[in-house]
Each structure stands twice: as C-alpha cells, then as structure tokens.
Amino acid sequence: MEVFYTSRFAREAKRVPRNLRGAVEERVEIFRRDSFDPRLKTHKLTGALKGFWSFYIDYRYRVIFEFIKADRVLFHSIGDHSIYDEF
C-alpha cells in the first residue's frame, strides 16, 4: 500500500504525544501491509465525512484517510476524537 500525507496530517503528526509515536509507526506499518487488519478496526465514516475512512492507533487516537486507488491512500488527519469535528 502506498501512503501519501496531506500537510495537515504532517502538522498533526508532530503534535502526537511522544509516548504514542511508536504506536503510530507500528499501526501505519500494519496498515501498509493490510489496511483491513483487525487490529486497526478500519471503518467507513458517515455523515459529513462520508467517503472517508478511519483506523485506530489506540483507544483514543485515530487516522482519517481516503482511498485514492486500490493500492494508494491519502492520510488526512491524525488525533483524538475531536478530529472528526474539526475535519
């Protein structure tokens, strides 16, 4: 899986707490191998975010992304649940 990042995602990733950065790297690597690995809890979003997807970093942090092609995704946002409201 080829992953691209928006500038927003890059800014938000810098603000992820240091103790979670290892988990972020691990989850992104799992995502690259299998975007629907059960550990990620990948799911479609609804409402205003219809067309986007999300996966879990931990119980609090999420990544919002979209499929560009079958083997390419664009990561839009990373953070706690407030990213759903701010996106």
Domains, the chain, ordered by start: 2-86 (3.30.2310.20)
31-44 pLDDT tens trace: 999 999 999 999 99
CB 15 within 8 A of CB 80: no
CA distance 48 to 16: 24
Whether residue 81 is predicted with pLDDT greater than 90 in this model: the reply is no
Strand, coil or helix: 36: coil
- Reported as a single tens digit per residue, the pLDDT across 43-78 is 999 999 999 999 999 999 999 999 999 889 999 999
The per-residue pLDDT of the chain, averaged, comes to 94
Q: Give the burial string for 76-87 (b: 16+ CB within 10 Å, else e).
A: bbbbeeebbeee
Task: Tell whether pTM > 0.75.
Answer: yes
Look-up of token digits 């690995």? 37
